[in-house]
Structure 1
């Protein structure tokens, strides 16, 4: 490119002339033979393939002024016309300035063929070290020049990636017909003229012309194509350290009617240890023959954070030599070995077949019986429909409560208490009571309980559910608060075996923690969970010595796996929760009794006494303290409804956001109109004295309602409405909202005691609080009982005049509203 020792690259994604991300500048990290290499890679997520997104890369010399530093720029669309990612390694010419930020393939660009950029684009789960075929978007004559130029190789030379030109794909022997159309479409993305000097050099090269004629002759001989089918059976000796989702990713050579990369459906664990399998067939209509053609197989796992990882890879020959025909499909059973000693050198049983003879009868794979900790749709008060007695082979079992995971930030010393609930008698058993002890040396957010109890058949009836309650001392209030509940079914029945007896549900389980106790009409799948928090439980035979805590994997099955909202939080929860001991956290509260601060025995005695003295049902923990506020994700507010309004008419709610709301004045007097939002979807079927708004959440990057500890004050709140303008001086005197509107407060409530209901959530947790959620807090002061819903009134749609449509009426209302308030139109 240039003699400058370093090149600076500015990289950005654009759509319709607008940047989708911040411009990233980086310098070359390596120089080879006058080529500059930029080694950094970045994953871009949540970009839909239907969007017209393209890359713009600007290359400049370092240590020079802006005008003299110009080298060239390049651009490329991320997705093709079929909505698929433009997968591969691309060779693009650098274009002359100025940069066209609204680039489209039809615009065309001016090129300088002495400068090129090579870059790779691949799905996020693809290995970074994968060798990709280089594709160019230049004119075909230029492609001949780069394809057939003679290079003397030595034994030490590394084989370079093969260069494939889309414009001449019809003369390549190893490329099929169907993909030819797609690749040709790519060749039209940048249509540029080639300098005449280059054309002359190509025409004069007789060796290149001869090779071109040879390739055309090879194409005329017509290659043979086969239909082929793959049947995947099972994977043996696959030793995993977790319970992730397992798939096989198969990569075939380019040029077939099917995609060159496909994935199987997830495997299931088998009855044999370290065995996984499934019944999966994949059919390809036309498969081009070629000697030595191989398929690459990769075992891919998908962990709870939705992060894919390739554990091992293997390959097999697709074709075999036959004495009657040059090539034939290597049909039959295949046993493929994978590399990777850490996972036990697994082997795959695979069958390759010819579809013209029909699909082979699949080998019956027997999956392992997966028993969740508690039935998914089993109601808490629904009795077990079984009269069978338990299997008496085991007279007793051990139940171990090992640890908790990812407790909220305001936790200190925690404990788990519980007992067995009989779903027939609807009562708790008093024979066995569970109560873990306090360990001052354990971690606050990941405490170890190390509790174990032995039970027998006579102690617990077969229709019992173990109910565990997780409690902690709130560091802010110094009170016992309830984190949540976990449930475990001690017995299960194998539905695959008729008249099977009940058996102990033995194993290692990671139980989710539910925020509220279950009710009769609420199942486990519909109950709100404490985000990310879990409890680890083991059920083992008392006749065999149990393995130590954390020596094996605690399984998470089916609906018990983290919810989508949890997946967005795990990274922040893991990064923010530092390793504090319970002792340090308790002493950090301050104002403890003198006996608790002098000796460790005194601190332990004070903590234990606090738990034992709690006779009343503790209040639930504030879920805002799951993780601290992150301005990158912001917060969301939803204005849901109003009640007991004085007026009759169409109602619009105006929302004003500011870093200092009490000092700015009334919302409509704000000088910064970007801080003002308003509802746009009033439910016309709601009453005009009790209107409902269906706008959903509003998003912003700063919020006036924070806890002092920098957490979003999450919840569904009911707030009063006041008469007149906002009294800034009065509001600024109060430290809390409730002080300002008590019966003796200085603010004037409306005559009908009107109120509004809003929701406030962290931007990462908008799925936790819905319109159907219960109101979690009433900021109504001492006049709480006076805020009641107004009696029935006419619907909002009754305000629409005759011969006027709903759309026209709403549009007229908002037009008048915007003229009156001088607010901008929000699309």
Structure 2
């Protein structure tokens, strides 16, 4: 079991009340004066917020930065890098935020966070590392021991650069194609100052927050992680509101423990209109999309499909929109004139709500399957509410 040795104090930044909630400034400075810091030292950062729907503490994501690099390249030193010359990873860094943190039972490193980690789209942290300033006797200077009027002259204060100055090292945070689309949707959001959002969160306590000190104390209290109160994970659904221009993407990946031994045919469609289930006259308005690329090395009871995401562009927003995934058991019935004929046997289906509060649900789901095919009555029930009193046959994945 790995043990992490903490170096220096916990970092708790506070926040600039006049900054934009979508691009907050922290203006936080911390000094480390530990000469025995190991080559593998890693700066681990966590970002918290208050969920605007539940008003509960949420953990937005994790970021990590290696404090040192092997001299002459960007490689992060390992614990046993004793013979390798290392240098401070000095400079301004733009770090991705990741959904999951490192495994506490394994050694801490940036790879423990970034390798195969699921990142938070379009969200990054700006961090600067600088060498400690020294006096003429080569003793490290500390802000607490120097008059504030001398900080700039002695190099103990360096103004935060503007992001547009392009001084932040951003190669590891290059946006993907999907992030470029999201960014264009986000860039037009109205500026909301931190001090303006507090009344919405504080509710009836607003009248008690008259000064900046009171607001900052309230924020500090609200964002404090209590020992018996684990923060919620950030819901990736609520990053950017749904835009009809970009539509929806869906991937049907696998079925678990199907109650039949024949080939499985799968297709998906949307309700409303549920066109496939209301007769051929409706079908032309919303064709079912078949999942075709089956993995022939997968089990018949647990078929896997390799189609990956299918795009449904310009799908009109409907707050009750659901995607219907329908499975058919297909069996060979006969061989006539050298051609195979097939019969459709058992069926199963499931439904997933597409939208939540104006956002498109963005997650990975394991859904229960319901016996048979969805009837028109069930589809009509899905529009205003969830399916009532439907006998399910949940196929256990265990």
TM-score (structure 1 length as normaliser):
0.36
Which residues in structure 2 correspond to 1:556-595 (within 5 Å)?
Answer: 556-575=169-188, 577-589=189-201, 591-593=203-205, 595=207
**Conserved in 1, the CA contact under 8 Å of 2:62 and 2:113?**
no
Deviations 1:599-625 (A, max 9, x none): 665544433212124334423212223
Q: Distance in 1 between matches of 2:126 and 2:177?
A: 21
Q: Distance in 1 between matches of 2:356 and 2:33?
A: 50
Q: Distance in 1 between matches of 2:90 and 2:35?
A: 18
**2:60 matches 1:476:** no
Q: Distance in 2 between matches of 1:697 and 1:717?
A: 14
Between 1 and 2, higher relative CO (CA 8 Å, sep ≥ 6) is seen in 2
Q: Partner residue of 2:9?
A: 432
Q: Distance in 2 between matches of 1:633 and 1:722?
A: 31
Q: Partner residue of 1:168?
A: none
Match of 2:366, SS? strand
Deviations 1:170-213 (A, max 9, x none): xxxxxxxxxxxxxxxxxxxxxxxxxxxxxxxxxxxxxxxxxxxx
**Conserved in 1, the CA contact under 8 Å of 2:291 and 2:307?**
yes
Q: Partner residue of 1:463?
A: 40
Which residues in structure 2 correspond to 1:306-317 (within 5 Å)?
Answer: none
**Structure 2 unaligned residues grouped into runs of 5+:** 74-81, 134-153, 322-352
Q: 2:367 aligns with which of 719, 736, 742?
A: 719
Q: Distance in 1 between matches of 2:273 and 2:214?
A: 45
Match of 1:541, SS? coil
Which residues in structure 2 correspond to 1:62-211 (within 5 Å)?
Answer: none
**2:98 matches 1:508:** no
Deviations 1:393-425 (A, max 9, x none): xxxxxxxxxxxxxxxxxxxxxxxxxxxxxxxx7
Q: 2:223 aligns with which of 611, 619, 637?
A: 611
After superposition, the Cα gap between the structure-2 partners of 1:580 and 1:670, relative to the gap in structure 1 and judged at 3 Å, is: farther
**Conserved in 1, the CA contact under 8 Å of 2:49 and 2:60?**
yes
Q: Distance in 1 between matches of 2:88 and 2:384?
A: 53
**Conserved in 1, the CA contact under 8 Å of 2:98 and 2:113?**
no
**2:308 matches 1:696:** yes
Q: Partner residue of 1:535?
A: 125
Q: Distance in 2 between matches of 1:653 and 1:726?
A: 14
Structure 1 residue 522 displacement after superposition: 5.3
Match of 2:26, SS? strand
Match of 1:503, SS? strand
Q: Distance in 1 between matches of 2:56 and 2:295?
A: 42
Deviations 1:268-309 (A, max 9, x none): xxxxxxxxxxxxxxxxxxxxxxxxxxxxxxxxxxxxxxxxxx
TM-score (structure 2 length as normaliser):
0.70
After superposition, the Cα gap between the structure-2 partners of 1:452 and 1:669, relative to the gap in structure 1 and judged at 3 Å, is: same
Q: Partner residue of 2:114?
A: 524
**Conserved in 1, the CA contact under 8 Å of 2:250 and 2:310?**
yes
**Conserved in 1, the CA contact under 8 Å of 2:16 and 2:27?**
no
**2:217 matches 1:633:** no
Q: Partner residue of 2:78?
A: none
Q: Partner residue of 1:654?
A: 267
**Conserved in 1, the CA contact under 8 Å of 2:96 and 2:125?**
yes
Q: Partner residue of 1:161?
A: none
Structure 1 residue 557 displacement after superposition: 5.0
After superposition, the Cα gap between the structure-2 partners of 1:594 and 1:523, relative to the gap in structure 1 and judged at 3 Å, is: closer
Structure 1 residue 465 displacement after superposition: 0.7
Match of 1:609, SS? helix
**Conserved in 2, the CA contact under 8 Å of 1:468 and 1:485?**
yes
After superposition, the Cα gap between the structure-2 partners of 1:525 and 1:561, relative to the gap in structure 1 and judged at 3 Å, is: farther
**Conserved in 2, the CA contact under 8 Å of 1:638 and 1:698?**
yes
Structure 1 residue 672 displacement after superposition: 2.9
Q: How many residue pairs are counted as aligned between the two chains?
A: 323
**Conserved in 2, the CA contact under 8 Å of 1:536 and 1:554?**
no
Q: Partner residue of 2:290?
A: 678
After superposition, the Cα gap between the structure-2 partners of 1:518 and 1:570, relative to the gap in structure 1 and judged at 3 Å, is: same
Structure 1 residue 666 displacement after superposition: 3.5
Structure 1 residue 432 displacement after superposition: 1.7
Match of 1:572, SS? helix
Q: Partner residue of 1:788?
A: 397
Match of 1:567, SS? helix
**2:299 matches 1:687:** yes
**Conserved in 2, the CA contact under 8 Å of 1:510 and 1:554?**
no
Deviations 1:73-96 (A, max 9, x none): xxxxxxxxxxxxxxxxxxxxxxxx
Q: Distance in 2 between matches of 1:652 and 1:495?
A: 56
Structure 1 residue 631 displacement after superposition: 1.7
**2:392 matches 1:749:** yes
Deviations 1:358-409 (A, max 9, x none): xxxxxxxxxxxxxxxxxxxxxxx9xxxxxxxxxxxxxxxxxxxxxxxxxxxx
Q: Distance in 2 between matches of 1:728 and 1:535?
A: 49
Q: Distance in 2 between matches of 1:749 and 1:505?
A: 56
Which residues in structure 2 correspond to 1:815-826 (within 5 Å)?
Answer: none
Q: Distance in 1 between matches of 2:65 and 2:202?
A: 37
Match of 2:46, SS? strand
**Conserved in 1, the CA contact under 8 Å of 2:276 and 2:282?**
no
Structure 1 residue 715 displacement after superposition: 1.3
Deviations 1:522-559 (A, max 9, x none): 57353222122111111223424232112564332544
Match of 1:433, SS? coil
**Conserved in 1, the CA contact under 8 Å of 2:276 and 2:283?**
no
Q: Distance in 2 between matches of 1:451 and 1:468?
A: 13
Q: Distance in 1 between matches of 2:390 and 2:42?
A: 52
**Conserved in 2, the CA contact under 8 Å of 1:511 and 1:536?**
yes
Match of 1:695, SS? coil
Deviations 1:446-490 (A, max 9, x none): 000000011113374443111011111111111111111111222
